[in-house]
Amino acid sequence: MTEERLEGGNTHAAIVRVGDTVRRPTGPWTPSVHALLRHLERSGFGGAPRVHGIDDQGREILDYVEGVVVHPDHDVLVLGDDSALVEIAGLVRAYHDAVSDFPLTGGPWHENGLDPVGPPELLCHNDLGSWNLVRRAAGDWAFIDWDLVGPGRRAWDISWALLSLVPLMPHRQASDDDVIRRLALFRAAYGDDRFPKASLAVASERCEHEATRIRDLGAAGVAPYDRLLAEGHFEAWDNAARHVQNSLPAWEDGLGGAV
What is the DSSP code (8-state) at residue 170?
G
The predicted model scores a pTM of: 0.95
More confident site: 61 or 107: 61
Question: In whole angstroms, what separates CA 62 from the centre of its chain?
Answer: 18
> For residue 53, which amino acid is it?
G
Residues 53 and 124 in one domain: no
Q: Between 106 and 253, whose confidence is greater?
A: 253
Task: Return the percentage of the chain with pLDDT > 90, whole number.
Answer: 90
**Per-residue pLDDT for 11 more than 70?**
no
What range defines the domain where residue 42 resides? 3-63
Judge whether 73 lies within some domain. yes
Residue-level pLDDT at 108 = 94
d(CA 241, CA 206): 8
Q: Are residues 103 and 57 in the same domain?
A: no
Coil vs helix vs strand at 243: helix
Provide, rounded to the nearest whole percent, the portion of the chain with pLDDT above 70.
98
* In a shared domain, residues 98 and 20: no
Dihedral angle over CA of 181, 169, 83, 160, nearest 10: -110
**For residue 99, what are the CA distances in angstroms to 25, 41, 52, 109?**
24, 11, 20, 16
111 with 78, same domain? yes
**42 and 128: one domain?**
no
Same structural domain, 53 and 36: yes
- 57 within domain boundaries: yes
More confident residue, 258 or 91: 91
Question: Given this model, what pLDDT does residue 10 score?
Answer: 56
The reported pLDDT for the residue numbered 174 is 85
Q: Check residue 92 and give its pLDDT.
A: 98
Residue 188 has pLDDT above 90, yes or no: yes
Question: Is position 259 within any domain?
Answer: no
Q: CA gyration radius for the chain?
A: 18
What are the tens digits of pLDDT across the range 140-186?
999 999 999 999 999 999 999 999 999 999 988 789 999 999 999 99
Number of domains in the chain: 2
Write out the H or E segment, with its range, that includes residue 134: strand 133-135
Please tell me the predicted confidence (pLDDT) of residue 171.
87
pLDDT number for residue 105: 84
Nearest to 104 by CA among 42, 139, 55, 152: 152
Q: Which of 10-19, 236-245, 248-257 has the highest mean pLDDT?
A: 236-245
**pLDDT attached to residue 246:** 97
On the question of pLDDT at 7 being above 80, the answer is no
Q: What is the DSSP letter of 150?
A: E
Give yes or no for residue 231 having a pLDDT over 90.
yes
Tell me what the mean pLDDT of segment 220-229 comes to. 96
pLDDT over threshold 70, residue 13: no
Per-residue pLDDT of 131-153, as tens digits, reads: 999 999 999 999 999 999 999 99
**Domain match, 41 and 125 both:** no
DSSP string, 176-191: HHHHHHHHHHHHHHH-
Average pLDDT of the chain, as a whole number: 94
pLDDT digits (tens, 9 = 90+) for 85-121: 999 999 999 999 999 999 998 889 999 999 999 899 9
Q: Which residue has the higher pLDDT, 25 or 106?
A: 25
